[in-house]
Homo-oligomer: A and B are copies of this chain.
């Protein structure tokens, strides 16, 4: 797929980064790439996130249909978050980000 309209193409960068950017969204999506996770599992792997922030981010990702919330069991309550079918499409992008990051960290993440 070629980029037809360059201006349009470049604006879309900002839109995508709105979804995947910020402090937590990319990481949440990355964790959900592997397999579905429960609220507290996410909270544990994202060790510094607070409940309220995690809730907000998950609700946003639900709103844009990237993630779905599934109540697995009512009592005791088990809730699972997973990528939607559509959300799965982000996997390759996340993979590209991770690969670039691992390859270039030595140069670029050096805060001297």
A interface with B by C-beta (< 8 Å): 1, 3, 6-17, 19-23, 26-27, 30-31, 34, 45, 64-66, 86, 89-90, 92-105, 107-110
Residue of B nearest to A92 (CB): B96
A89-B103 CB under 8 A given contacts A21-B17, A108-B19: yes
Contact A108 B66 (CB under 8 A): yes
Q: Please state the number of chain copies in the assembly.
A: 2
- By a CB distance below 8 angstroms, the chain B residues around A104 are 86, 89
- By a CB distance below 8 angstroms, the chain B residues around A10 are 27, 30-31, 45, 98
Contact A100 B89 (CB under 8 A): yes
User: Could you write out 13 A-B pairs with CB less than 8 Å apart?
Assistant: A1-B103, A3-B95, A3-B102, A10-B27, A10-B45, A10-B98, A11-B27, A13-B30, A14-B26, A16-B100, A20-B21, A64-B108, A90-B100
